[in-house]
Structure 1
């Protein structure tokens, strides 16, 4: 009688979980390839140009940090700081105005009005560029309808200024804040308000000690999101103020169009790299705040 030995040449079948995991990886491959082509190639080209310096005498190119140094000096630095200031001011005002507006929408008893307001916010948050600039020029420009009828010019109003640009940016930043903070407001538990009232807290005390601390990560995240949206805006400012308000996006456009000194063409790529770094810092702040807010509201 001979013993039957187990076969060692049989390959075990893959488990369902392993097959599902492999299928998920294959499904992501097209997205990764598209991301690598659409974002990776331009990023590599930007980095290469930002660190490339061409010798005007010999025509030879070499790698140096000269372009980055130039992008942080003179008019370029002024434009970068101007964009940061404009984005911070408009994002701060948009956050302060968007929160109470979103609260009114969330607590509205009329469902149709609530849905209409959220739909309008979604449309207005994506309405920008040249059409928005022309709409404000026709309304609040030097010869605008409201400017002439209300005599705003005599009162010192100037649309083509820093504060004029802030007002235009608020047109799409406030609706964006409404869309951003509405889910957080809907996540506030009614039991929290009832518990505060049972302990003798007023409405102001409830918002100061309960609601606002819970909403703080969402508010800061919304501010950061608004900052990034305003920081990257270009067409609206280009159509309205041109070069009267120094902005880094306008400086990049001038450099790309050839309106720069000879040998300074790659400074535009260095300025773009500066913007990418600022955007990276913005996202580094936004993502942890978003996760922290989700933990509070989903608990």
Structure 2
């Protein structure tokens, strides 16, 4: 056995723990959820669970709210994160390290502490809500509504977006800007023809990650609304824990719908990436 063959076998052995972990904790649960979604206590094997999901206004509303909150919070989050990441790249001071460390810390600040913090700040009697009312800027604000959840989700999307987009700006070389300026291009033309095409893969990839992050969020929205807001993770958890009715097969079907939504988003992301690559060439 030569050195090249030994190297390949060693690489395969090193890959084995990861492969086992991936199969046991990723593939196996997904297969179990898929099998469970096709079963019902009354009819056995059938598509009844999916029929109930797509014919029920309640479950369709859960899908709609999940998509709307995830989409808008991802859009707002990536816009703010892009501006913040670009600003950090342009600032050469200790502030850059501080903001990066702060973003790393706040990206993990979610769940019950985040919901409690927003209740104190933006609840019905929150400090910021009361100040805005006294200033006459707003008449009323409901943190526990869809708009309030979009604001809450956007908050925990921004640090993650900054951490993902900050390295992407290393691909923009300063001499490209100088060369474009020498050729008569203004700032808008530089970003339209050079900056955005270079950053498009990173922006699309970050958007998909933010969307997945929001679609699967559970602890924060549950702690804020005590499970009374109709989104997919809340419905899945309620069916598994038996808050209203115990139906793990329906929960599995909702989980499959959630996975299908993310699969569609990922496929669209890959198509857009290929298109942007051909356009940039």
Q: TM exceeds 0.5? A: yes
Aligned pairs (5 A) from 1:84-163? 84-110=67-93, 112-151=94-133, 155-163=139-147
TM-score of the superposed pair, with normalisation by structure 1: 0.85
1:203 Cα deviation after fit = 1.7
Q: How far apart are the structure 2 equivalents of 1:295 and 1:109?
A: 34
The aligned counterpart of 2:24 is 37
Whether the 8 Å contact between 2:197 and 2:276 is mirrored in structure 1 is no
Measure the CA separation in 2 of the matches of 1:220 and 1:198: 30
**Partners of 1:174 and 1:296 in 2: CA distance:** 29
Q: Secondary structure at the match of 1:91?
A: helix
How do 1:13-28 and structure 2 match up within 5 A?
14-28=1-15
Match of 2:204 among 206, 210, 220: 220
Q: d(CA) in 2 for partners of 1:29 and 1:220?
A: 31
- The structure with the largest alpha-carbon Rg is 1
Q: Give distance in 2, aligned partners of 1:295 and 1:180.
A: 24
Equivalence for 1:52: 39
Structure 2: how far apart are the matches of 1:166 and 1:155? Answer: 19
Q: Distance in 2 between matches of 1:289 and 1:132?
A: 34
Determine the C-alpha separation between the residues in 1 that align with 2:204 and 2:52. 32
Greater share of helix = 2
Within 5 Å, give how 1:178-217 maps onto structure 2. 178-217=162-201
Q: Contact (CA 8 Å) 2:82, 2:162: kept in 1 or not?
A: yes
1:237 CA drift (Å): 0.8
TM-score for both structures, normalised by structure 2: 0.90
Alpha carbons of structure 1 residues 286 and 120: separation in structure 2 relative to 1, 3 Å? farther
| Aligned match of 1:248 | 232
Cα deviation for residue 204 of structure 1 reads 2.3
Residue in 2 that maps onto 1:283: 266
The answer to whether the 8 A contact 1:214-1:293 is kept is no
How many Å apart are 1:191 and its aligned residue?
A: 1.9
Structure 1 residue 287 displacement after superposition: 5.8
**Length, aligned pairs only:** 278
User: What residue in structure 1 maps to residue 49 of structure 2?
Assistant: 67
Distance in 1 separating the partners of 2:205 and 2:120: 34
Q: SS state of the match for residue 151, structure 1?
A: helix
SS of match in other structure, 2:158 = helix
* CA deviation profile, 1:181-239 (whole Å, cap 9, x unmatched): 11221110112101110011222221222211221222122111111111110111111
Unaligned runs of 5+ in 2: none
3-state secondary structure, aligned to 1:266: helix
SS at match of 1:114: helix
- Per-residue deviation, residues 244-284 of structure 1 (Å, max 9, x unmatched): 5321111111111224557x441111001111112223333
Partner-residue secondary structure (3-state), 2:91 = coil
Cα distance, 1:296–1:191 mapped onto 2, change above 3 Å: farther
Q: Encode CA deviations 1:88-144: one digit per residue, 9 max, x unaligned.
A: 11101111111111111011021x211111111111122111110001001111122
What's the secondary structure of 2:44's corresponding residue?
Answer: strand
Query: Within the alignment, does 1:78 sit opposite 2:56 as a pair?
Result: no
